[in-house]
């Protein structure tokens, strides 16, 4: 009998809200986080807009001294963690701290700090570079900082699988609990990569939408007129516990982390396999891990980036795994509203999957206006949908061919 893993708390910082309630309300309202970029002067860029986090005040949250020592991606992850612990009513102390672990993924890590300090190096010389550069820049900075703040001494690491990082982090954290390495895990991902060089790099790959005259309608997953993704930023963190641990402390169980699968396309460094073969493997593995069949899945939260190749290949993968059932399974992409949080996207979408179960409602795919013959499934267009949600599949795919799938289930 394998250990059952449950979700007992959640927290987030997103382009449409700086906590769970704001974010969920915005998603159900079909609100887009897209707006002109404020982080830098984007006037020379092909894409001049992004889904930035708005109104986030790290000094108010952490104090000026601590905030200065954290890259923006670490600030996001720390804020999300504190909300998640509070919502779970989870106290870490001497009695449990050695059995509480942390796994915070990221696609890029502290790129803002790296770029800022490179400018210092060029303009003022090597002696003026910040002594905090390295700990702020490295990908495990968020996980390490959170451990110090909350006192958790269990397994602690970061994971980087590009845009699959968040889903992989949740899945691997659940596996740590199942094998007995921890009783509880603070798990999720964080990203803050809306920088001039990141945007330029994505633009020259033709990955980003260039709908500068109408940013809020730029992210349009599965729509025939999609022209690229919307860059986002933020963090989501879930508290995962073994069922026994959660019940012993009287925790409110939000849902069950039921299944996890991961694979690789072994095809191309940035383009998905055209038929979604690698993604289909990941989805099948997650179903097997959860002991479920395709017809058991109530809803799929798609990777759904709004790029031509991704949406086409993900649709093909769903058809491969679900067969005719694919046409009866509602699918939506919340990236139509939040944009693509890169490494953090899967963590945020894992949170959305849990909320869909808890509230018996599906968030929509906004900006879906013109059906694409190669994307012909039910994408929950433009309006949320009320329905009983028992099992949710969430997909994430990343550069390098990484695929990750999780399944959240109603707790029985």
Which residue is listed with tokens 């001497």?
A: 94
Q: HSE-up of 239 (CA within 13 Å, CB side)?
A: 26
- How far is it, in rounded angstroms, from Cα 345 to Cα 25? 18
Contacts of 255 (CB under 8 A, 6+ apart): 6, 7, 354, 357, 358, 408, 409, 410, 411
Task: Report CA torsion sign: 137, 46, 205, 321.
Answer: positive
Distance from CA of residue 139 to its chain's centroid? Answer: 16
Reading the block at residue 280, the tokens are 């289909």
Q: Give the C-alpha separation, 136 to 66, whole Å.
A: 11
* Residue 326 DSSP SS3: helix
Contact 106, 167 (CB under 8 A): no
Angstrom distance (rounded) from CA 181 to CA 199? 39
CB distance 152 to 102 below 8 Å: yes
Separation between Cα atoms, residue 45 and residue 49, nearest integer Å: 9
Helix residue ranges per DSSP H, 274-344: 277-290, 308-322, 335-338
Q: Classify residue 106 by burial, with Cβ atoms within 10 Å: 0-12, 13-18, 19+.
A: buried
382 secondary structure, DSSP code: S
Q: Which residue has the tokens 């982090």?
A: 169
SS3 of 19, please? coil
CB distance 275 to 320 below 8 Å: yes
Give catalytic residues, as residue numbers: 163, 303, 340
DSSP character for 3? Answer: P
């Amino acid at each position: 009998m394998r250990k059952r893993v449950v979700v007992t708390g959640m927290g987030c910082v997103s382009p449409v809200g700086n906590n769970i309630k704001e974010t969920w309300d915005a998603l159900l309202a079909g609100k887009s986080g897209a707006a002109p970029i404020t982080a830098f002067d984007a006037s020379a860029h092909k894409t001049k807009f992004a889904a930035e986090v708005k109104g986030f005040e790290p000094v108010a949250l952490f104090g000026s001294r601590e905030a200065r020592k954290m890259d923006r991606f670490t600030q996001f992850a720390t804020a999300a963690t504190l909300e998640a612990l509070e919502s779970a009513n989870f106290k870490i102390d001497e009695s449990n701290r050695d059995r509480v672990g942390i796994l915070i993924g990221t696609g890029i890590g502290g790129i803002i700090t790296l770029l800022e300090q490179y400018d210092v190096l060029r303009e003022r010389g090597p002696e003026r570079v910040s002594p905090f550069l390295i700990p702020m820049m490295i990908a495990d900075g968020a996980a390490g900082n959170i451990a110090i703040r909350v006192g958790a001494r269990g397994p602690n690491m970061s994971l980087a699988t590009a845009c699959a990082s968040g889903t992989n982090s949740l899945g691997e954290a659940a596996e740590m609990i199942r094998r007995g390495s921890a009783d509880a895990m603070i798990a999720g991902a964080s990203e803050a990569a809306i920088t001039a060089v990141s945007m330029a790099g994505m633009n020259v790959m033709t990955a980003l939408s260039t709908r500068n005259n109408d940013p809020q309608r730029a992210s349009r997953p599965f729509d025939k007129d999609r022209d690229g993704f919307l860059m986002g930023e933020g963090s989501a963190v879930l508290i995962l516990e073994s069922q026994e641990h959660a019940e012993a402390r009287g925790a409110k169980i939000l849902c069950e982390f039921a299944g996890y699968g991961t694979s690789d396309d072994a095809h191309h460094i940035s383009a998905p396999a055209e038929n979604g073969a690698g993604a289909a493997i990941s989805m099948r593995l997650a179903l097997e891990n959860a002991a479920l069949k395709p017809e058991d899945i109530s809803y799929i939260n798609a990777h759904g980036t709004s790029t031509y190749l991704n949406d086409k290949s993900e649709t093909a993968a769903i058809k491969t795994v679900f067969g005719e059932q694919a046409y009866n399974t509602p699918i939506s992409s919340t990236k139509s509203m939040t944009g693509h949080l890169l490494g953090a996207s899967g963590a945020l979408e894992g949170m959305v999957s849990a909320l869909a179960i808890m509230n018996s409602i599906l968030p929509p795919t906004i900006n879906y206006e013109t059906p694409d013959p190669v994307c012909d499934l039910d994408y929950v267009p433009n309006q949320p949908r009320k329905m009983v949600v028992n099992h949710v599949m969430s997909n994430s795919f990343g550069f390098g061919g990484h695929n990750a799938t999780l399944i959240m289930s109603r707790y029985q």
